[in-house]
Amino acid sequence: METRQTKPSSGQTAILRRSNDSRSDEVLISAELIRLAEARQASSGLSEASLEIYSQELSSRFRLDDIRAGLHVLALTRREDGDTAFPDVGTVLAAVREAVRERHAARTAEAKRMRDDAEERHRKEHPEEYVHVSAIIGNFLKNKGIEVIPPAKPKSAFCEHCNGVDLNALRAQDLRALADFIEKRDGTEGQNDGKTGGKHGPQANHETQADQHAG
C-alpha cells in the first residue's frame, strides 16, 4: 500500500526554519498562529512574512498565555460575511487584549473573594473588634443630647417633639430630617449664646445667679 506525503504549507515550513532560532517565544507564537490558520481554513494563505509580522507584534506586547487565550477565542469564532479567512493584525491584537482584560478581571475578583473570606474569618474569630453602625450613630446622638428610644416606643423613627430616635427604624428620609433638626437646633442655641454674650452652661447660670444676688 502506498502512502502519500503531504507537502508542508508555507507557514509550517516557516516554523521549521525558525525552530532553531533563539527567539523561542516567537516560535511558539508562530505555532499558535498556524493552529489558528488551520481552524479557520486559511493555512494555505499564511506566508512566512505574515508569520513574522504577527509573531513580532504579539511577542512585543503580550504574554504567551494571553496570546494563546485570545487566539483560541478567534479559532472558535464563526466567520461573518466579508471576514477574511485569517484575521488581520488589528483583529488579532484586539482579541488578545480582551483576553488580558478577562485575566485581570478574574484576578481582581479572586483577590476580592480572598479578602472577603479573610475578613469574614477575622470577624468570626474576633467579634469584639467590630462595632455596629447603630452604636456609632447612637453615641453621636447622645453627644447631641438626643435620646435613643427603644424600638416600638415612638410612632416614627425620629420624633422631633419627644427628642428621640429609634435606630432600628431609621430610613434615608429620617436621617435627612434628623440632620435638619440637629442643624436647626444647634443654630438656635448659637443665637441664644450670642444674646447672652457667648456664655452658656454652668458658668452662665452661676453668673446669672450672682447678678440676681447683687441686685
DSSP string, 50-67: HHHHHHHHHHTTS-HHHH
Residue 200: partners with Cβ closer than 8 Å, 6 or more residues away:
189, 192, 193
**Which stretch of 9-18, 60-69, 85-94 has the lowest confidence by average pLDDT?**
9-18
Burial 33-72 (b: 16+ CB within 10 A, else e): bbebbeebebbeebeeebbeebbebbbeebeeebbbbbbb
**Which stretch of 67-81, 84-98, 139-153 has the lowest confidence by average pLDDT?**
139-153
- Summarize pLDDT for 53-65 with one digit per residue, the tens: 999 999 999 999 9
What pTM, to 2 d.p., does this model score? 0.52
Collapse the DSSP code of 171 into the 3-class scheme (helix H, G, I; strand E, B; otherwise coil) and give the result.
coil
- Summarize pLDDT for 94-130 with one digit per residue, the tens: 999 999 999 999 999 999 999 999 989 988 888 877 7
Predicted pLDDT at 124: 86
Predicted pLDDT at 128: 73
Query: Between these two residues, 208 and 193, which has the higher pLDDT value?
Result: 193
Give the integer Cα–Cα distance in Å for 210 and 157.
43
Predicted pLDDT at 4: 47
